[in-house]
């Protein structure tokens, strides 16, 4: 269970790092931000947003 939590934090930290333009030497900052976000999120919240599949012209 701890590995799953750590992986979620790591993934979110990576997203934050990318969104910030991939700055050097700020990995701890993004990890701590991701950890805070995870701690503040409701237990059942989905952290990743999934985009709908592209439409192929059919209804």
Of residues 54 and 36, more confidence is placed in: 36
Residue 57, domain member (yes or no): no
pLDDT tens profile 27-52: 999 999 999 999 998 765 555 554 55
Q: Contact at 8 Å (CB) between 38 and 12?
A: yes
Q: Which domain holds residue 21?
A: 2-40
Per the domain annotation, does 30 fall within a domain? yes
State both tokens at 23. 């700055």
Q: Which has more confidence, 58 or 37?
A: 37
Residue 47 lies in a domain: no
Spell 7-41 as b/e; 16+ CB within 10 A means b: ebbeebbeebbeeeeeeeeeeeebbebbbeeeeee
Q: How far apart are CA 34 and CA 41, in angstroms?
A: 11
Of the candidates 41, 42, 33, 26, the one whose C-alpha atom is nearest the C-alpha of residue 11 is 33
Tens of pLDDT, residue by residue over 10-23, are 999 999 999 999 99
Q: How many domains does the chain have?
A: 1
pLDDT of residue 50: 47
């Amino acid at each position: 269970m701890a590995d799953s939590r750590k992986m979620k934090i790591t993934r979110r930290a990576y997203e934050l790092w990318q969104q910030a333009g991939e700055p050097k030497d700020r990995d701890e900052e993004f990890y701590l931000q991701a950890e805070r976000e995870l701690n503040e999120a409701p237990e059942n919240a989905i952290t990743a947003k999934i985009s709908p599949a592209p439409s192929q012209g059919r209804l």
